[in-house]
């Protein structure tokens, strides 16, 4: 069954600072690129969708229900990869993922999912290594595993390719594209080339205002050119 995530009239203030202004979005299955410079409201928007913040005004709906009124159900449908993930350095990769699987109540399916994910992100050979001994790129891929574990319907990725080399970025892009057919993927990035070939819609964030458009608009322009045209006055 297709699911729908709706943001209706979302505003967010921090004291006197208006971080988001009247954001209206409807997200279906597919990959949405969330683009904007620092301070544009991207992190605030992601934290609101993840349920980590509450809006100052407006409503977020999941399949027609306010997310704060179906919080347990909604959390079970959500995977979030923050830009700076918190992980336990004394845990091995496997220990950490099985710990998360227990929190997500995956039961007997945990091992199958973990083995599959580690293979997909090329971490099988370091499964028993302590997280504290991993490189930055390995930690980034492990963070992606933790977000995808449990097969969430809504996947929020904040700069998922940071710290990865070009080959790893290509592999991650291919993996996200593969699993996105039945998910809503919100991908925030400054590396627009990472999403250009797979994104179906773009959410432009500028000074707390969100504007969305299909990626095929102005197809003659590259996504990098569109980005520079849209944000050129504030970059």
Bridge-partner residues for 184, per DSSP? 30, 154
Note whether residue 6 is domain-resident.
Answer: yes
Note whether residue 102 is domain-resident.
Answer: no
User: For position 216, what pLDDT does the model report?
Assistant: 62
Query: How many domains does the structure of the chain reveal?
Result: 1
Cα–Cα separations (whole angstroms), residue 6 to 60, 63, 102, 123, 201:
6, 8, 30, 35, 15
C-alpha span between 150 and 34 (Å, rounded): 23
The C-alpha angle 80, 201, 198, rounded to 5 degrees, equals 75
Is the overall model pTM greater than 0.85, yes or no? yes
Using DSSP's 3-state secondary structure scheme, residue 235 falls into coil
Domain of 201, in residue numbers: 1-77+154-160+187-235
- Match 């350095």 to its residue by tokens: 89
Note whether residue 210 is domain-resident.
Answer: yes
Positions in the chain whose pLDDT score sits under 70: 1-2, 215-221, 230, 232-235
pLDDT tens profile 150-204: 999 999 999 998 888 999 999 999 999 998 888 999 999 888 888 888 888 999 9
The C-alpha angle 213, 20, 188, rounded to 5 degrees, equals 50
User: For position 86, what pLDDT does the model report?
Assistant: 86
CATH, residue 204? 3.40.50.300
Tokens of 152: 């969430």
User: For position 152, what pLDDT does the model report?
Assistant: 95
Note whether residue 176 is domain-resident.
Answer: no
């Amino acid at each position: 069954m297709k699911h729908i995530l709706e943001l209706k009239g979302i505003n967010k203030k921090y004291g006197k600072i208006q971080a988001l202004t009247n954001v209206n979005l409807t997200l279906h299955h597919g990959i949405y690129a969330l683009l904007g410079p620092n301070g544009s409201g991207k992190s605030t928007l992601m934290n609101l969708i993840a349920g980590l913040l509450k809006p100052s005004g407006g409503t977020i709906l999941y399949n027609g229900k306010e997310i704060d009124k179906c919080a347990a159900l909604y959390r079970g449908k959500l995977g979030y990869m923050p830009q700076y993930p918190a992980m336990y350095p004394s845990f091995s990769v496997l220990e950490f993922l099985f710990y998360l699987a227990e929190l997500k109540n995956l039961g007997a399916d945990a091992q199958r999912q973990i083995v599959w994910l580690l293979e997909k992100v090329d971490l099988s050979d370091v499964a028993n290594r302590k997280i504290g001994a991993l490189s930055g790129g390995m930690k980034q891929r492990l963070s992606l595993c933790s977000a995808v574990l449990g097969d969430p319907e809504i996947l929020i990725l904040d700069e998922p390719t940071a710290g990865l080399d070009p080959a790893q970025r290509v592999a991650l892009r291919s993996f996200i594209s593969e699993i996105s057919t039945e998910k809503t993927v919100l991908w925030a990035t400054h590396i627009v080339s990472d999403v250009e070939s797979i994104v179906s819609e773009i959410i432009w964030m500028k000074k707390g205002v969100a504007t969305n458009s299909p990626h095929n608009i102005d197809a003659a322009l590259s996504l990098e050119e569109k980005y520079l045209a849209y944000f050129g006055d504030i970059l």
